[in-house]
């Protein structure tokens, strides 16, 4: 695919080097980074040493890892948004009321990214923090945000997305997912029953701006042994909708 004249390939490659590190690859050798990013060893070395000089990467001479300063890149986004700071008090009140964990996420490409979270106890095998990403198709917040996309964008997503079975309950058919998203649009909320992880159920609703666009989603998650799908709908949906309405009201004030 041809690049625009303004495209800076070195910036793309530098960001690819940062993204090579994740929860499964906390420490990488020079060869690991070169292989993961499709770079020569010489190019990977230049990027890693530059990032080390800037304080984003650290090394013991053989292994490289991300330094805490890399968090500044994510916090720059968060600090430019009013969403997390507006939402957090409402998430805290919601969690106190329902005694279950609650989070807020936004859609980033084909994933959701957590921008705020108030946990009660850990109910997933994977630790969830601000910045955690999950595939949108298998999450309640993701489905709320996908359902809010214009038809053209949704069709493009359904065409390109790799719908992999994360559990034996995960919807992996584009046709079935489209039907589910149509239901989410009609209902105004999404419930996902053990599709992201066995034993985890969640319900989510959108947070809309003054134009009606869904800018984020809020969920409540619960272990399956504590609540059936019907329990979730009856017990958690009303306080969830009250929380999203309160967030929307505060966003309107915060954004003038």
User: Which secondary-structure segment (H or E) carries 103?
Assistant: strand 101-108
pLDDT of residue 1: 59
Tens of pLDDT, residue by residue over 29-45, are: 999 999 999 999 999 99
Tens of pLDDT, residue by residue over 113-130, are: 999 999 886 555 556 788
Contact call for residues 37 and 20 (beta carbons, < 8 A): yes
pLDDT of residue 189: 97
Q: Sheet of 200-208: strands edge to edge?
A: 133-135, 111-118, 101-108, 214-223, 200-208, 190-193
Query: Which regions of the chain are under pLDDT 70?
Result: 1-2, 74-81, 121-127, 254-256
């Amino acid at each position: 695919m041809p690049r625009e004249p303004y495209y800076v390939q070195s910036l793309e490659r530098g960001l690819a080097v940062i993204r090579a590190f994740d929860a499964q690859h906390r420490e990488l050798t020079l060869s690991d980074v070169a292989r993961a990013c499709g770079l020569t060893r010489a190019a990977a070395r230049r990027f890693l040493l530059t990032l080390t000089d800037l304080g984003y990467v650290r090394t013991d001479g053989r292994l490289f890892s991300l330094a805490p300063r890399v968090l500044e890149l994510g916090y720059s986004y968060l600090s430019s948004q009013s969403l997390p700071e507006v939402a957090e008090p409402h998430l805290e009140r919601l969690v106190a009321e329902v005694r279950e964990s609650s989070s807020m996420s936004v859609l980033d490409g084909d994933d959701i990214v957590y921008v705020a979270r108030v946990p009660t106890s850990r109910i997933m095998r994977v630790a969830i923090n601000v910045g955690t990403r999950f595939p949108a198709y298998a999450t309640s917040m993701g489905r709320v945000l996908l359902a809010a996309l214009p038809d053209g964008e949704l069709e493009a997503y359904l065409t390109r997305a790799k719908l992999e079975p994360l559990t034996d309950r995960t919807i992996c058919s584009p046709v079935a997912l489209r039907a589910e998203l149509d239901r989410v649009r009609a209902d105004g909320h999404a419930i996902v029953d053990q599709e992201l992880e066995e034993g985890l159920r969640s319900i989510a609703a959108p947070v809309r701006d003054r134009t009606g666009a869904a800018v984020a989603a809020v969920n409540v998650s619960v272990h399956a042994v504590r609540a059936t799908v019907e329990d979730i709908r009856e017990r958690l949906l009303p306080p969830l909708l009250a929380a999203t309405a309160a967030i929307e009201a505060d966003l309107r004030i915060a954004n003038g």
